[in-house]
Structure 1
Amino acid sequence: MSLIGSLAEFVSSLEAATLHARVMEHVKMHILDTIGAMLAGPHTPEGSAIGKFIESLDDQASHPVIGYSFGASLPHAVFAECAATRCTEIDDIHLGSCTTPGSVVVPTALSLAAAGHFQKSADMLCAIVAGYELLIRMGLAIDGPRVLYQGVWPTYMGAPMASAAVTSRGLKLDTRTTAHALAIALTMSTGAAGRVKGPLSSRWITLGAAVEQGVIAALAASQGFAGDEALLDKDVGPLQTTIKAKEKLVESLGGEFLITHTGLKPYPSSRQALAAI
């Protein structure tokens, strides 16, 4: 089975009944923590600007955008929510992968829930677990803490695949279709991020767009569009130059859930600055 196939099988077959109570408690805690960031984000200067930008893209769209007073299409709602959540710097972080999964996964899941795509809360919780797992594992596979200082943003690199995983669960896609969704999302993953200076950083727009692309990838797969399931199995290519440890994508997959190793921030700051605070 291809690496993408293995990831897709994990995403589509995950069942709440098989998850340890400790994992579920972590999921609920991270949902609440991220909701706090989602509600705070729109009140920041960056979050306000993000809202105005997204509102200008949609006319008379009715999907609620959490934290804002306007509606948008589902992909644009996820875009705004993710961008506003991440700009607060109070979202959670997994240190080993140098990723902030909550800002990507939770807004995607909550928007899908608001659109009626999860019939039971357990379905949404499984989608969140799957999204955290794929995003963190991508960060581990590229050695996030190292590549961050080479101009690669680990969260940005894994965001399309993670949001595609969450959306695939929300759309109830089978394993094969989920594999196509993940493959399409991977073609939208670059990870390249500059060091933007100025009062309104495009950094948040970049991440919001990446998460939106993951949603679109799953929606496209659900309509029959196919992706290259062998993308991660090739020896050469753009992804291979960044993903140096592909085995970490599937190592002990489903055995230990990495959301339980994801930390919360007591203050709005990058994690490396918390000790100074």
Structure 2
Amino acid sequence: MSLVDEMAKFTVSEAVGKIGENHRRRAIEHILDTLGVGLAGNTDPIASSLLTYTERLGERGGYTLLGNAVSASLLQAAFVNGILCHALDYDDSSWRLIGHPSAVVLPSVMATAESMDAGGRELVTAYLIGTEVSCKIGAAAEPELYQAGWHATGVVGVLGAAAGAGYLLGLSLDQMIHALGIAASSASGLRQNFGSMTKPFHAGIAARNGVNAAYLAQCGFTSNPEALEGKTGFFANFANKQPVLKESMGEPFDLLQPGFFVKPYPSCAATHTAIDAMLSLVKEYGCQADQIESIYAGCGPVGPIMLVHNRPLQGTEGKFSMPFVLAAAVADGEVGLDTFTDDKVNDPVIRALMEKVEFGIDEQYRTRSVEEAPALIRVKLKDGRVLERSKQMADGSPEHPLSYEALIGKYRDCAGRVLSPDRVERSLEKIVFLDSLPRISSLTTELRPG
């Protein structure tokens, strides 16, 4: 059986039977996290550009834009919400995908679910299917896809978005095969755009294109059945290899094993072990910026590949800067939503401390895989003391998951930046009990200000 046949068969007829209550509970936690960071995405300058763009293109409609009183067309809602969910780089990630599964799949299935006012249980099922397709294809394409300069969030995510939306639309097996082929020709996303507004654009355009592919297939649009595996197909072009699935679809679901990374900090996942280690030192020893002579940050091979802005000039670039996140951790004693602003990146104290940071691959981590991001932090103080801390797995990783209370707290903090306290609590309750909602509209109403 070809890969596209296996993906389509899983989506259309096999997935539902493999989904248990444990899958649903975990999915709802990630949906909660993704909706929260999507709402908080409205605090980024990208949001005003998106609203202006929606208005100028005449893309207003009846579909929810997270945290906004105005609505948009179905495809535009998937697009805008995808960007908002990834705007802060606070959304979950998968090391197997080397990308962000939920920020693409959830906006695509939410917009599709709104089109039929589906129930929450169907939304959760579609989310599970879409993220599983993304991650299994990603695992088959990585690390070659990433090393070639592609961003899997957009390139692979569009296939998961098409699968999730296609499930909700009730596509037949043949239609699903065509939808995946259409999505494969819609794939895009360059890593060169990391640190700019175009990185979250990758999530939005993948969500939009995935929904578009599913609807086109439903209307009789066709694609080549070898679009994924053919000699000039998806894998040949993006990964320069033929795919081999490492596990069968849904056995296990990637969401459960190995699991997704839920971020406690709104920055690239490759910074998180280092931030954890630095904040631990700051808390234990009370380090101050003026006490520090130098900082050494050693990491694995993935660090320099992802963290491309050693001397950032904008807040968006700071999310991909090891010197900045460590300097901010020392200067402020925390790293959060208010860290990644243009003013903060250009703060004189932080910029002076950034110049003292040496960042590179540490010899003990040189052979680590691209799926790992260990960190060694060594701080030399002016009084001669040397403080050192290492971290193998970051807080929020599947190995060190955030507590349920921390997830709820993160949602309240994010949602509370754009919604009233009452709406925050009502939306939280709807999400927690999403599986039992008879109509998704009862949730989307609470995701708008008012």
Q: What TM-score, normalized to structure 2?
A: 0.57
Amino acid paired to 1:44:
D
Higher helix share: 1
* Equivalent residue number for residue 29 of structure 2: 29
8 Å Cα contact 1:180/1:227 also seen in 2: yes
TM-aligned CA deviation for residue 130 of structure 1 = 1.0
Q: Give ranges in structure 1 of 5+ residues lacking alignment.
A: none
Question: Structure 1's 220 and 238: CA in aligned 2 closer, same or farther, altered over 3 A?
Answer: closer
**Structure holding more strand per residue:** 2
Q: Higher relative CO (CA 8 A, sep ≥ 6), structure 1 or 2?
A: 1
- Measure, in 2, the Cα distance between the counterparts of 1:40 and 1:32: 12
Q: Following the alignment from structure 1 to structure 2, what is the Cα–Cα distance between the partners of residues 163 and 18?
A: 19
Corresponding residue to 1:272 among 251, 258, 270: 270
Distance 1:265 1:54, change over 3 A: same
Deviation string, structure 1 residues 145-190 (Cα, Å, up to 9, x no partner): x543432111111122111111101211111111111111111114
| Paired position in structure 2 for 1:40 | 40
Counterpart for residue 2 of structure 1: 2
Alignment of 1:44-63 (within 5 A): 44-58=44-58, 60-63=60-63
| 8 Å CA contact retained: 1:34, 1:102 | yes
Contact kept in structure 2, 1:67 and 1:81, CA below 8 Å: no
Residue 227 (str. 1) matches residue 226 (str. 2): no
CA shift in 2, pair 1:251/1:235, >3 Å: farther
Code of the residue aligned with 1:135 in structure 2: it is: S
**2:204 alignment partner AA:** G
Residue in 2 aligned with 1:159?
157
- Correspondences of 1:73-92 after superposition (within 5 Å): 73-92=73-92
Letter in 2 for 1:273: T
Q: CA RMSD in A?
A: 2.1
2:193 counterpart SS class: coil
Which runs of structure 2 are paired with 1:43-192 in the superposition (5 Å)? 43-58=43-58, 60-116=60-116, 118=118, 120-144=119-143, 147-192=145-190
Equivalent pairs, count: 272
Q: How far, CA to CA, are the matches of 1:138 and 1:227 in structure 2? A: 18
Confirm or deny: 8 A CA contact 1:162 1:214 kept in the other structure.
yes
Q: Could you say if the C-alpha distance between residues 61 and 237 of structure 1 is closer, same or farther in structure 2, counting changes exceeding 3 Å?
A: closer
Residue 204 (structure 1) shift: 2.4
Instruction: Give the letter for the 1:97 counterpart.
Output: L
Deviating beyond 6 angstroms after TM superposition, the runs of 4 or more aligned structure 1 residues are none
AA aligned to 2:146 is L
Q: What do residues 96-124 of structure 1 show as CA deviations (whole Å, max 9, x unaligned)?
A: 22121110111122222222252x33322
Q: What per-residue deviation string (whole Å, max 9, x for no partner) do you get for residues 53-80 of structure 1?
A: 2232225422222222212110110000
Q: CA deviation at 1:225?
A: 0.6
CA distance 1:238–1:247, shift in 2 (3 Å): closer
Distance 1:187 1:32 in 2: 31
Shift of 1:16: 4.1
Unaligned stretches of 5+ in structure 2? 276-450
- Give the structure 2 partner of residue 218 of structure 1: 214
Going from structure 1 to structure 2, the CA distance change for 1:29 and 1:64 (only over 3 Å counts) comes to: same
CA distance in 2 between partners of 1:230 and 1:196 (Å) = 31
Q: Which secondary structure does the structure 1 equivalent of 2:221 belong to?
A: coil
Equivalent residue runs for 1:187-202 within 5 Å: 187-195=185-193, 201-202=197-198
**Contact 1:42-1:51 within 8 A present in 2 as well:** no
- Does the 8 Å CA contact 2:90/2:265 hold for their aligned counterparts? yes
**CA separation of 1:127 and 1:35: change in aligned 2, threshold 3 A:** same
